[in-house]
Structure 1
């Protein structure tokens, strides 16, 4: 069985969820010959992903785990326009799935984007200087849009909501990545499901 990851930095990170999955499979299912290939690219948006999608035809995976959203939802200025509009992100999700299906019969799993801590983002010096921001509302809307699709969805949003008693996020308010392990624990045991992520 061959699985690949498509996504942005939180999938590309060699200490984050896809590499943790690889390690778990090596520990628990070493005899099953499961191969994982990480095709995620840091900084990528869904628009970038469409251009690079033909690489799936070269790898011919059995499974695709796809996680985008953080870079699409980045805003230019505090409360400014998104890097990729919500409408274009929705369009790109549809095109990614349709074009991937034309390349081969791989089964597809979406991962909703993880939540961010808006307070930490607003107070992080680099983001203040560069006038870069994210909105939890944008990420929640993206998660709802994915939940309405027919493919399985892993809810990576609700398990990463900011909580004072569990410091999941980095100092910049972003997802935990490899530098903070607490944020990986909920997701490592989270099973794919199709559900509405937010009421």
Structure 2
């Protein structure tokens, strides 16, 4: 039987995604090479139109103020349990296309995780607005990438097509929230499902029988 690769949907916006990816990398240090990583974000009208052309739609529903306040307290508690300092950024009219499409550009250039680490350090370490070009610029420089190339990602037709493909795959996988982990028929939503994901995936990757 061909060994299947898990898919992990992550978001640069979500603190639960950040904590999940961080812990998954600790639990399985080689996971960056063993997992298919797909970004997930609120698409702008251009990407939304491309997604609709593929027959897909965006399942995510914006959270209420009450849920947002709960998430703030909950994620701070989770971060403290991991021994991580966390800053809570204030997003004012964010354009999530920029950091996520810039990540796709960084992936095309072979340094996605250097850029990812610089972005999450800015967002969750310092509370910076990663949708601002100047923040993306600094993160690109820290990752050893040309910031002009990453800042131009939303204007790159190939990157736009890749972005729409990511969200269309998310639609096909019934993704409705982040983080979302999928391996074969197994699907797991949320930070608190990471152990369940590892319980079914790790035995197979270590030589057991795929489920």
Q: TM-score, normalised by structure 2?
A: 0.27
Q: Which has the higher helix share?
A: 2
Identify the structure with bigger relative contact order (alpha carbons < 8 Å, sequence gap 6+). Answer: 2
